[in-house]
Structure 1
Amino acid sequence: MDWGSVRGLALAGALGAGTVLAGPLSASADDETIKVGVLHSLSGTMAISETTLKDVMLMLIEEQNKKGGVLGKQLEPVVVDPASDWPLFAEKMRDLVSAEEVDVVFCCWTSVSRKSILPVAEELNTVVFYPVQYEGEESQRNIFYTGAAPNQQAIPAVDYLMNEEGVERWVLEGTDYVYPRTTNKILEAYLKSKGVADEDITINYTPFGHADWQTIVSGIKDFGSAGKKTAVVSTINGDANVPFYKELANQGIDAADIPVVAFSVGEEELAGIDTEPLVGHLAAWNYFQSVDTPENAEFIETWQAFIGDEDRVTNDPMEAHYIGFNMWVEAVEKAGTTDADTVIDALIGVSVPNLTGGYATMMANHHLTKPVLIGEIQDDGQFEVVWETPGLVVGDEWSDYLPDSRDLIANWRAPMSCGNFNIATGECGGKGGS
């Protein structure tokens, strides 16, 4: 399928990492501990999603310290709260690297917060792991994208609805910022490439924290009454999801009539919702808590023991932090240093177990190999997997469906070392990479 395509040039050499020579120790690695920055919103509209990511990072650090730490040193978490304030992310990022002298930062949920810290990460040359699905159209040397690119979530979800559910009309409903807008631009182009007419696609955006969904949901209901199977593709983020799903139930929209597939709703978000009226609605991720593997069972047990709550759920971005953290540990140990340049080079080709029974590999474009899962909401707030890709999908940083992107690839392995190499012109440059 289109979403599984792999560009050979972009990925050449990604799995064949050679010997990494240790560079100089960084400043904080010379001290008694190695500092790990944790930059997630603990207040504001995104706290509903990001607080758990802070918690799982503390768990991962604690577990690693029980094993002896990294390079014989204990890890010291440095947690800051950018409070869902996008410019504040850049300020807090600078404080973490310059003042606190952290060696790595695990960061962010929204794309606008990631783009806020990106120039700071580049200027100060630090290593950043970003654990959430995003819109693609970017590959930066300092950022490792452990969440899904559009071909690892959005496009497979649309394929599922089109091929398995017979969907012909599409509501693209999102929060008004870069991730939903760019993802929907890609999806609109993809749907039209599949023969979907303009009048069968409607797109709408609302602000962060939007609460009054009555008119919008009524419009969705009207759009779905044209005699063609209709679905909602949701890129709504944060706490706005709670009133959105409540209004769907209030207006009697169930999954049999107009299914909703969400890209930012997982187990944590459903924990605050009466899920009984939502049974059958969908989410597309690369991991669900309900996945039955020994690795996942151990992770859930460790998580619930750490948090002191046997009902506390896990979710996809937590698995992405689990993968990214373990990759960072392996790369640092392999390199023998926390020096950013050396670790960045060492990360390419690193493979670690995921929680679904396979391995995640960091490719030369700084994206992972991932399975894609479609889950159906159950009345207990968990997801039943109803579909999955037959194998792993390589994250595609530049969309094949946008004219300005289809000729771009990223490969951070020397000698290319470029985030936006144009295969048509043979030049490195342009948008979204550096």
Structure 2
Amino acid sequence: MAIRRRSFLTGTAALGAGLLGGFPHIWIKDYSLARAAGGEIKVGVLFSLTGTTAIIEESLNKATIMAIEEINAAGGINGMQINAVVEDPASDPATFAEKARKLVVGDKCVSVFGSYTSASRKAVLPVVEKRNNLYFYPTLYEGRECSKNVIYTGAVPNQQQDEFVPWLVEKFGKKFFLIGSNYIYPKEENNYCKKLLEKLGGEVVNEEYVPLGHSEFSSVINKIKSTAPNVIFSTVVGDSVVALHRQYRAAGLDPAKMPMASLTTSENEVAAMGGDAAAGHFTSAPYFMVHKSPENEKFVAAYKKRWGDDKVTHFVSEACYFQMYLFKQAVEKLAQSDITPDGIREAIKGQEYVAPQGKIHLDKENLHTWLWPKIAVAKSDGQFEVLKDSAEWKAPDPYAAYPNQKCTETGLKEA
């Protein structure tokens, strides 16, 4: 289903009245107080369908649309259909800001769901804060952010690294080579990794950053060979992940001796690079497609039925899916006149939902999500094998690398 730059209503009930006749739009003039009206709830969907990160963001769009379709087909939210306005920011932060402004100011969306990279989230942040809107962000990210205008449903560093880095040191050794894409997320994740390594007596033999979309890793591979680390710790994103893995394999490096350990390589990138290039390398994330639960079996089956049997789910698409249901639960608590960004924010605090990964919880203090850390190894068949599954969900600490700071309901507090 190709949907570009237009408003649409999804679900069976929407097909007649929504697409043919349309619902009346009664919006108050002050865009900062956009609210649901005329029997529908208008939301923005802002994921890149073109550009360097489309390799991953297209699947985020798909998971979001599928959740909206499911909710609408089941009767909507208190009888109201979700009307999604889809925009393509083309993997460009400046375009993200431009499209977010259109969704919030022009389209009067009560919330926007979007972004993969932190660069794009940072570009959108001033827009939603100025207009007092809500931005649902599904991606694992670097933390060090405390905004009342963002609902964070992806993992922060402590949820991915607290178990992963000690496990890697124990299994492979203490010498780490850090390689990431050149923007804030990899640098902050590596900052946290270095703090953990320091406690474990580890060392960083080299730290490299490459531009987004980078595809030539021969110099990086040569440095890896010369420094001989025990672990290559990767925060490379987008289609660069595919290039790095393929060139690693072509160089004859052995994951049994020197694996790549990633926070960003999911089933989606593995499908793009091929199972042979991914096999033997590790990822830490709250969700993998092979996770065993009734909720995940339903999610995977529905996703394949909707988008194609060759499609895969992964830890960011799963967050896209469950955050729409958190939104639904929050809006269900509100009278129609209260379905505003402020109303939704208050209603979503403390919400819980049994997601494909397990039961998740939206922290009322910092608006981040309690998640289930897992460590998995990629297999040649394109899937992962989960090697370690957390015994309990883990609280988000977006300032884990900065213990003198804490995100609270009233804002960032200095210790």
Q: Same fold (TM over 0.5)?
A: yes
Q: Which residue of 1 aligns with 2:13?
A: none
Q: Which residue of 2 aligns with 1:296?
A: 296
| CA RMSD, Structure 1 to Structure 2 (Å) | 1.6
Q: Which runs of structure 2 are paired with 1:334-349 in the superposition (5 Å)?
A: 334-336=333-335, 337-349=338-350
Find out whether 1:313 has 2:312 as its counterpart. Answer: yes
Percent identity reads: 33
Which string of whole-angstrom CA distances, capped at 9 and with x for unpartnered residues, describes residues 34-62 of structure 1? 11110011111000010011111111111
Q: Which residue of 1 aligns with 2:413?
A: 421
Match of 1:30, SS state, is: coil
Q: Distance in 1 between matches of 2:136 and 2:114?
A: 6
Match of 2:180, SS state, is: strand
Match of 1:243, SS state, is: helix
> Contact between 1:289 and 1:315, CA under 8 Å: does it hold in 2?
yes
Q: Which residue of 2 aligns with 1:270?
A: 270
Q: Distance in 1 between matches of 2:210 and 2:162?
A: 22
> Contact between 2:270 and 2:278, CA under 8 Å: does it hold in 1?
no
Q: Which residue of 1 aligns with 2:185?
A: 179
Letter in 1 for 2:282: L
Residues 135/27 of structure 1: CA separation in 2 closer, same or farther (3 Å cut): closer
Gapped regions of structure 2 (runs ≥ 5): 1-27
Find out whether 1:122 has 2:129 as its counterpart. Answer: yes
Match of 1:238, SS state, is: coil
Q: Which residue of 2 aligns with 1:430?
A: none
What's the TM-score, normalizing by structure 1?
A: 0.85
Aligned residue among 137, 140, 148 for 2:144? 137
Q: Distance in 1 between matches of 2:57 and 2:118?
A: 13
Q: CA deviation at 1:384?
A: 0.3
Which string of whole-angstrom CA distances, capped at 9 and with x for unpartnered residues, describes residues 49-82 of structure 1? 1001111111111100011111321111100011
Residues 379/303 of structure 1: CA separation in 2 closer, same or farther (3 Å cut): same
Letter in 1 for 2:218: Q
Q: Which residue of 1 aligns with 2:37?
A: 30
Which string of whole-angstrom CA distances, capped at 9 and with x for unpartnered residues, describes residues 373-421 of structure 1? 111101111100011222111110112x4xxx31111121xxxx11x11
Which string of whole-angstrom CA distances, capped at 9 and with x for unpartnered residues, describes residues 100-137 of structure 1? 11111111000010010101111111111100111111
Q: CA deviation at 1:196?
A: 2.4
Q: Which residue of 2 aligns with 1:220?
A: 224
Q: Which residue of 1 aligns with 2:102?
A: 95
Letter in 2 for 1:312: K
What's the TM-score, normalizing by structure 2?
A: 0.89
Letter in 2 for 1:36: V
Q: Distance in 2 between matches of 1:276 and 1:183?
A: 27
Q: Which residue of 2 aligns with 1:323?
A: 322
Q: CA deviation at 1:295?
A: 0.6
Q: CA deviation at 1:189?
A: 2.3
Q: Which runs of structure 2 are paired with 1:235-254 in the superposition (5 Å)?
A: 235-254=235-254
Q: Relative CO higher for 1 or 2, CA cutoff 8 Å, sep ≥ 6? A: 1
Q: How many residues align?
A: 383
> Contact between 1:354 and 1:360, CA under 8 Å: does it hold in 2?
no
> Contact between 1:347 and 1:362, CA under 8 Å: does it hold in 2?
no
Q: Which residue of 2 aligns with 1:191?
A: 197
> Contact between 1:152 and 1:394, CA under 8 Å: does it hold in 2?
yes
Q: Which residue of 2 aligns with 1:207?
A: 211
Letter in 1 for 2:216: D
Q: CA deviation at 1:166?
A: 3.6
Q: Which residue of 1 aligns with 2:12?
A: none
Match of 1:179, SS state, is: helix
Q: Which residue of 1 aligns with 2:286?
A: 286
> Contact between 2:49 and 2:58, CA under 8 Å: does it hold in 1?
yes
Match of 2:239, SS state, is: helix
Which string of whole-angstrom CA distances, capped at 9 and with x for unpartnered residues, describes residues 270-321 of structure 1? 11112224321111110000011111010111111111x1121101111111
Gapped regions of structure 1 (runs ≥ 5): 1-23, 424-434
Match of 1:306, SS state, is: helix
Letter in 2 for 1:90: A
> Contact between 2:358 and 2:372, CA under 8 Å: does it hold in 1?
no
Q: Which residue of 1 aligns with 2:407?
A: 410
Q: CA deviation at 1:26?
A: 5.8
Q: Which residue of 2 aligns with 1:365?
A: 366
Q: Which runs of structure 2 are paired with 1:253-264 in the superposition (5 Å)?
A: 253-264=253-264
Letter in 1 for 2:97: A
Residues 313/370 of structure 1: CA separation in 2 closer, same or farther (3 Å cut): same
